[in-house]
Amino acid sequence: MSTPRIWTAALIVIGDEILSGRTHDKNIAQIAGWLQIQNIRLAEVRVVPDVEDAIVEAVNTLRARNDYLFTTGGIGPTHDDITVDAIAAALGVPVVEHPEARTILEEYYATKGGTNPARLRMARVPEGADLIPNRISGAPGIRHGNIYIMAGVPGITAGMLDALTGSLEGGLPLLTETIGSRAPESEVADILRTIEQAHEGCQIGSYPFFKEGRSGANFVIRSTDAAMLASCRDTLCDALGAAGWDWTPGGL
C-alpha cells in the first residue's frame, strides 16, 4: 500500500503587535482547527514583524515546501500594512489595483464617507491574484496561486475562512482518538512508546494536565487509518487498565 498523500499548509502571522505581546494571537488556533476540517495539516507557523525582508524570506521558504501558505495581518489601509507589497516582492510580480476589489470598496464606503487613497490601498494585489470574499468589513482577502492572504482581525479572518470552506483540495482525513487518565504520563511512558511502535502510522501525543487538584494526562492518537487507530486505542485502554490505571474515552 502506498503512503497516503498528506497535504500541508504553513501560516505566517504578520505583525509587530503579536511580537510585542500587545495582541494575543487567535489566528494560529483558528486556522489550525479549520485546516484539520479541510484535511490539510498545518506543518509550521512563523510570526514575523512588519518588515519586508522578514516577510519575503518566510513566504519564499514556506510556499516552496507546502501545498498551501496562509498569511494573516497587514492588509489594512495604513503605512504599516505592507503584506501585499512584501508578497508581490517575494513572487517577483508588480502590485496592481484589482478592479473588482475597487468596486467592492467603493460600494462598501459609499455610505461611510467614500473612498480615499488609504482605503483604495486595500484594492491593491500582487498581479495575477483573485479575491477572497469578506462579508464583514469590505476589504477582501487575496489568493495568489497557493498563497491565501487573510485579515489579521480574527473575526474577519473567520469570515474569509468560511468563504473558502470546501474549496481547497485536501488529503485523507487525519482521525484522532483521545483517552484521558489520571495516570501520570511518566508512569506510562513505556506503554505509550511500545504501543505507538506497534501501530504503524499512528502517533500518540501525551498532554499532561493539573486540574481540580489532581494530575493526569490526555493521550491523543492520530492516524489516517481508521482500523489502525481503533486497534491502537483499544490496545492502549487495555494496557492502562492492566497496569491499574483509569481511562476515559474522549479525554479528561
> Which of 51, 226 has the CB closer to its own copies?
51
CB 192 within 8 A of CB 204: yes
Q: How far apart are CA 145 and CA 207, in angstroms?
A: 37
Nearer of residues 19 and 93 to its own copies, judged by Cβ: 19
- Tell me how far, at minimum, the Cβ of 128 lies from its own copies, in Å: 26
CB of 112 to its own copies, least distance (A): 8
* Residue with Cβ nearer its own copies (171 or 205): 205
Closest CB 140 distance from its own copies, rounded Å: 15
> At closest approach, how far in Å is the CB of 146 from its own copies?
18
Cβ partners under 8 Å of residue 221, min gap 6: 176, 177, 178, 179, 202, 203, 204, 229, 232, 233, 236
Cβ 195 to its own copies, closest distance in Å? 10
CA distances from 243 to 72, 97, 181, 187, 191 (A): 47, 66, 12, 10, 9
**Residue (142 or 204) nearer to its own copies, CB:** 204
Residue with cell 489566528: 27
The smaller minimum CB distance to its own copies, of residues 146 and 154, is found at 154
**Site residues (CB under 8 A) for its own copies?**
13, 16-26, 28-36, 41-50, 54, 76-81, 112-113, 116-119, 121-122, 137, 153, 155, 174, 176, 184-187, 189-190, 192-193, 196, 203-208, 210, 220, 222
Burial of 141 (0-12, 13-18, 19+ CB in 10 A): buried
State the Cα–Cα distance between residues 53 and 43, nearest whole angstrom: 22
Instruction: Let me know: does 42 contact 109? Beta carbons within 8 Å.
Output: no
